Amino acid sequence: MLTMTSREAEHDFTKLLDTSQREPVMITRQGRPISMVISPCADLKSAFTQFMQIVRAIAPLDGVDAVHEFDRIVANQGKRADGLTEAEIAAWVHESR
Condensed to tens digits (0 to 9), the pLDDT of residues 41-66 reads 657 777 777 777 777 777 766 677 77
**Whether this model's pTM surpasses 0.75:** no
Q: How many structural domains does the chain have?
A: 2
Please report, in angstroms and rounded to a whole number, the separation of the first and last CA atoms in the chain. 10
Does one domain contain both 50 and 83? Answer: yes
pLDDT band at 11 (very low <50, low <70, confident <90, very high): very high
Does 19 score more than 70 pLDDT? yes
Tens of pLDDT, residue by residue over 62-83, are 677 777 777 777 776 544 455 6
Cβ atoms within 10 A of the Cβ of 37, count? 18
Do 71 and 83 sit in the same domain of this protein?
yes
CATH number of 23's domain:
3.40.1620.10
Residue 22 pLDDT more than 80? yes
Question: Which range of residues forms the domain containing residue 79?
Answer: 41-97
6 and 23 both lie in a single domain: yes
Q: Are 61 and 97 part of one and the same domain?
A: yes
CB half-sphere exposure, 77, CA atoms < 13 A: 9
